[in-house]
Structure 1
């Protein structure tokens, strides 16, 4: 077992690079923090290095599923942590091999979503609602951002999350006979009037601008969620949750 006490250690510097999008893309690895996320990563079998503060006890099953177990001092834990109070538990994980091959099913498509909490919550909700995958379009926040990861609560390890052009995704879904539904305020029907056809591609757009017009033009239909009170709009993740459960698999 290796122990690291200095924040200037070269290995620590490599870990810190995983806190940046550039570092993650270069290595195809990312860092998760906290007992719950690490446990989910263990179950997914993607941990390369298990990193724990020296006073933290970890289950034996974690050790068996990690390539390396490394203990660290409190000072190193503080450097790696992106939370106010760290549990002192981290893991370096390997990104899943990217695939752009879609199959007929239910997909949530995200168009230029910027808020990490919203994106993570949508991934988690899509998982809970029984969707088959989430397609991340260009311009959407990095799904391996620590805030996104925390908001997914581990669902990112269970549900296929596919990075690809939404133009290509819509074309692929159409070829598979999947109905593509865009969310919009104009020239749209109330979501309750849209039949649950089973296979669907549901597009949620940027928090301020909505779904790009060029994508809406490719959709088979448009839907909106009626506002009953005086609120101007719904939070994007809340709106996605309503729609995801409306178009969820029927028991």
Structure 2
């Protein structure tokens, strides 16, 4: 029986797909090695493959050890595949496509070379975390791209991490995965060049972040590191540092107003935009180092939800004619 294997160089772990057999681990398999075989139908949530998928969904460290994430829904899966195929780098993108029993392969995914596994509605619901699977058409195991990375302590050259750095979004302690995913989605929509995650941000491949981002986590460079790395990035690309911050009494520095004229004045200037969490706001170093910019609002509202405010900033400051 021939076996199509997928090897994970990060961990020396192996997935092996064999046609027309039940999905069970082989006897006396070595620790850290998995043998997952294509099946007509998986019906048990206790299946080893299902347990592996659940760990990918629930554990950030497990996702990173396998360099793989669970993506729910044919639409974001298609968007990710379309984008990654446009890069034409020859890398394997999707390891496995999980479909409801007897369902057709969704349009746009029918030419995928990924192994296809069928699952019962109980298993599909368990894997997706959704209460109902009536509209659930696909789940995929997709490799986390090389564009997602942690900056080394001695990182000096950001050219490899951000091939283009005219507009970089810097997120400071964004812990809510829905907000982070929405900001990533807006960054892709408005043609920003990448996202830098400061300490305290949640995992962009968290299931809720992926749901909110609709696959944007796979479509632009996402780099995590410290504020010192942002300073290095600023120096390397001669970038201006802006930070979204509401204007209020007690600030020791002026706050500029986000306006068309303000944005036009920066159209050719490379910049980093820093957004802080709703609860804690900006941390000390960004607050000291950045020019503060606020969004004019009617009434007595002090601030907007960070994903809403971020969408406005990203739209207003998006690159022009580049």
* Fold shared, TM-score > 0.5 on shorter chain: yes
Q: Distance in 2 between matches of 1:114 and 1:197?
A: 30
Which stretch has the larger CA shift, 30-39 or 94-103?
94-103
Greater RCO structure (CA 8 Å; 6+ sep): 1
User: 2:99 matched to 1:52?
Assistant: yes
Q: Shift in Å at residue 238 of structure 1?
A: 1.1
Would the alpha carbon gap of residues 104 and 78 (structure 1) be closer, same or farther in structure 2, given more than 3 Å must change?
Answer: closer
Q: Shift in Å at residue 137 of structure 1?
A: 1.6
Q: Distance in 2 between matches of 1:104 and 1:110?
A: 16
Q: Equivalent residue of 1:32, what SS? A: strand
Would the alpha carbon gap of residues 217 and 175 (structure 1) be closer, same or farther in structure 2, given more than 3 Å must change?
Answer: farther
Q: How do residues 47-196 of structure 1 correspond to structure 2 at under 5 angstroms?
A: 47-59=94-106, 62-86=109-133, 87-97=136-146, 98-99=148-149, 101=158, 102=162, 103-184=164-245, 185=247, 186=251, 187=253, 188-192=255-259, 193=262, 195-196=265-266
The structure that has the greater radius of gyration is 2
Aligned to 1:11: 49
Aligned to 2:297: 227
Measured against aligned partners, the alpha-carbon deviations of 1:139-181 in whole angstroms (never above 9, x if no partner) come to 1111001111111122223222222223302321222111111
Q: Gapped runs of 5+ residues in structure 2? A: 1-18, 20-37, 86-92, 152-157
Aligned to 2:312: 242
Which stretch has the larger CA shift, 229-238 or 166-175?
166-175
Q: Shift in Å at residue 24 of structure 1?
A: 1.0
Q: Is contact 1:113–1:119 with CA below 8 Å preserved after alignment?
A: yes
Measured against aligned partners, the alpha-carbon deviations of 1:119-156 in whole angstroms (never above 9, x if no partner) come to 11111111111111111222111100111111112222
Measured against aligned partners, the alpha-carbon deviations of 1:38-78 in whole angstroms (never above 9, x if no partner) come to 22233225211111111221147525424311111222112
Which structure: greater helix fraction?
Answer: 1
Q: Equivalent residue of 2:109, what SS? A: helix
Which stretch has the larger CA shift, 40-49 or 89-98?
40-49
Q: Distance in 2 between matches of 1:88 and 1:7?
A: 18
Aligned to 1:34: 73
Measured against aligned partners, the alpha-carbon deviations of 1:227-251 in whole angstroms (never above 9, x if no partner) come to 2212232111111111112211224
Structure 2 residue corresponding to 1:214, chosen from 258, 275, 285: 285
Q: Distance in 1 between matches of 2:295 and 2:98?
A: 45
Q: Equivalent residue of 1:168, what SS? A: helix
Q: Distance in 2 between matches of 1:170 and 1:202?
A: 13
Q: Equivalent residue of 1:240, what SS? A: helix
Q: Is contact 1:34–1:89 with CA below 8 Å preserved after alignment?
A: yes
Q: Shift in Å at residue 200 of structure 1?
A: 0.9
Aligned length: 250
Would the alpha carbon gap of residues 104 and 38 (structure 1) be closer, same or farther in structure 2, given more than 3 Å must change?
Answer: closer
Q: Distance in 2 between matches of 1:182 and 1:123?
A: 17
